[in-house]
Structure 1
Amino acid sequence: MLRIEELAAGYDRSRVLHGVSLEVPEDGVAAVLGHNGAGKSTLLRAALGLLRPMAGRVWFEGEDITRLPAHRRVRRGMAYVPQGQQSFPQLTAMENLRLVADGRADGRAALAEALDLFPALRTLGTRRAGLLSGGQRQQLAIARALITRPRLLLLDEPTEGIQPSVVADIQRTVIELSGRGGLSVLLVEQHVGFALRAAQRYYVLEAGRITSSGSGEDGAEETVREALRV
């Protein structure tokens, strides 16, 4: 679904990523794990086209998209949920969702499916997004991305800084989505157990380089924790 080859990227003249290569399986999940500052968010931004690579290639569904701008990648089926539970705070939760759904031929059905995945949003629909908890805003952000019916979902630390009960809901939803078919996920996470349960493939990123990779099989958690020294 997504293949990144020898990618170098950063800001101005400062390189953050150094020769990163990884693959996201079709209808599956690839997880990128690493400490703060390892370059995980930079990797997602480069994959979406928000950062122009300094070197390397990005392939999506067999097409070289290295030079495509972000909006054209979105049209091809990519969706991005950045860190920070982003929303339009003055709009209600439902208004946030309808901003994406309105104008789409399948918008009503896509909205209903997103609410089925996050049923708590039905009861919060009339509340302003700025008054929601961090976990509720994160559910809203993921639901909004899913309304676009992406082929590839880029998730940046979806469980960071939110209450444990909502973490469980988000983990369940990501694992459920990855098992349905028709959607691939590139997941940036620090919760090792969740990432390996969800992912068919994992990559450990350290100081902008892949230092370890493998499949999410039995024994992988010990290997990853050793690589991360946690």
Structure 2
Amino acid sequence: MLQLVDVEVGYGRTDVIHGVSLVVPPDGVAAVMGHNGAGKTTLLRAAVGLLPVRSGRVLLDGEDVTGTAPHQRVRRGLAYVPQGQQSFGQMTTMENLQLVADGRSRGAALVDEALDLFPALRGLLGRRAGLLSGGQRQQLAIARALVTEPRLLILDEPTEGIQPSVVAEIEQTILDLTRRGGLSVLLVEQHVGFALGAAGRYYVLAAGRVTADGSGGTAAVGDVRSAMAI
């Protein structure tokens, strides 16, 4: 579904990503792990089109989208949930969802389906998003992305800074989504056990380079921890 081929990315004169290649299979999950500063978010922003690729290629469903704008990648089925539980704080929970549902033929049904995945949001539809807890905002951010009916969902640290009870709910929802089929996920995650439990393929990033990769599954936890020197 997504393929990065020898991608180089940077800021100004500084190179941050050095020749990274990875694959997210159709209906599959790939996890990118690494310590803070490894270049994970930079890599995702390049995949989405928010940062230009200095060299290499970005392929989305087999099509070269290296030079295309983010909104063009969205039209091809990409959705991105950045780090930090982002929402439109002055808008209500429902208005945040309606914003992306408007103009879609199945808009109302898509909102309802997203709320089925995160039922805690149903009681918060009239509350301003800025007054939600961090976990609630993260659920809203993922739900809003799902209303766009993506074929590829990119998640940057979806469980960071969230209370453990909500972390478990988000993790289970991501696992349920991937088991349904029809959705591929590129996941950046610090929780190694969860990431490998969800992913069929993993990549460890350090200083902007892939230092280890392999098949996912809990059996790989030891290898990943060793690669990350935890």
Partner AA of 1:191 in structure 2: H
- For 2:62 and 2:76, locate their aligned partners in 1 and report how far apart those are by CA, in whole Å: 12
- Deviation (angstroms), 1:216: 1.1
Q: Are 1:189 and 2:210 counterparts? A: no
Unaligned ranges ≥5, structure 2:
none
Percent identity of equivalent pairs: 70
| Aligned ranges 1:116-195 → 2 under 5 Å | 116-195=116-195
Partner AA of 1:79 in structure 2: A
- For 1:93 and 1:218, locate their aligned partners in 2 and report how far apart those are by CA, in whole Å: 36
- Deviation (angstroms), 1:217: 3.0
Q: Are 1:100 and 2:100 counterparts? A: yes
Q: Name the structure 1 match of 2:46.
A: 46
- Deviation (angstroms), 1:219: 2.3
| Aligned ranges 1:28-107 → 2 under 5 Å | 28-107=28-107
Q: Name the structure 1 match of 2:208.
A: 208
CA contact (8 A) 2:196 2:218 kept: no
Partner SS, residue 89 of structure 1: coil
- Superposed CA RMSD: 0.7
- For 1:6 and 1:83, locate their aligned partners in 2 and report how far apart those are by CA, in whole Å: 24
Change in 2 beyond 3 A, CA 1:134/1:67: same
Return structure 1 stretches of 4+ with deviation > 3 angstroms.
none
Partner AA of 1:91 in structure 2: M
Partner AA of 1:36 in structure 2: N
- For 1:176 and 1:218, locate their aligned partners in 2 and report how far apart those are by CA, in whole Å: 17
Q: Name the structure 1 match of 2:22.
A: 22
The aligned length equals 230
- Deviation (angstroms), 1:109: 1.0
Partner SS, residue 224 of structure 2: helix
- For 2:201 and 2:7, locate their aligned partners in 1 and report how far apart those are by CA, in whole Å: 18
- Deviation (angstroms), 1:13: 1.5
Partner AA of 1:21 in structure 2: S
